[in-house]
Amino acid sequence: MAFVPSMKLYASDGVTLLYTFVAVQSTNIPQYPRKSTVVEGIRGQGCIVIPGSSGSWDIEIGGVFMAADYSALVVLMDALESTVAMFTNYILIFDKTISTSYTYNVKRILPIEFPNNGNRTNYQEYKMVLKVNAW
């Protein structure tokens, strides 16, 4: 059986698994897990770039729920919203390969988007934004 990359959300203790993201279609998690911080002054031109720093940034996770009918889709949507509460500290672990995983301290500060894609008969897309280094 082949390895499948996974994204799992843990409580802030890093031990309690709360949610496993299935059928993730898109994400902006970088190849290099550290981002650079850009400091721009209000006077003058240019900026200072601090490479490899720990500034805050957004992780976007786009996925799809698939179910037999509308009722089952609503259950999946409600489970995501109730499990990943707003303004709560979480740890997101992205297992990229068998030997490589990235860990992020995240917090959801925006509502989860469920784009209108028809009448939700058997699938529903979602987009969630998590703020990294927000705690």
Q: Of the candidates 9, 131, 10, 111, which has an alpha carbon nearest to the alpha carbon of residue 60?
A: 131
64 found inside a domain = yes
CA 37 to chain centroid, in Å, comes to 20
Residue 1 forms part of a structural domain: no
Residue 93 lies in a domain: yes
88 within domain boundaries: yes
Q: What is the pLDDT along the chain (135 residues), one digit of tens a residue?
A: 677 778 999 999 999 999 999 888 888 887 666 667 788 877 778 888 887 777 788 999 999 999 999 899 999 999 999 999 999 999 999 988 888 888 999 999 999 999 876 677 888 999 999 999 888
Give me the number of domains the chain comprises.
1
Residue 45 belongs to a domain: no
User: Does 77 fall in a domain?
Assistant: yes
Range of the domain at 117: 6-31+50-132
- Domain assignment present for 126: yes
What letters, b where the CB count within 10 A reaches 16 and e where it falls short, cover 89-100? Answer: ebbbebeeeeee
Residue 39 lies in a domain: no
Question: CATH code at 111?
Answer: 2.40.30.200
CA–CA gap between residue 109 and residue 86 (Å, rounded):
6
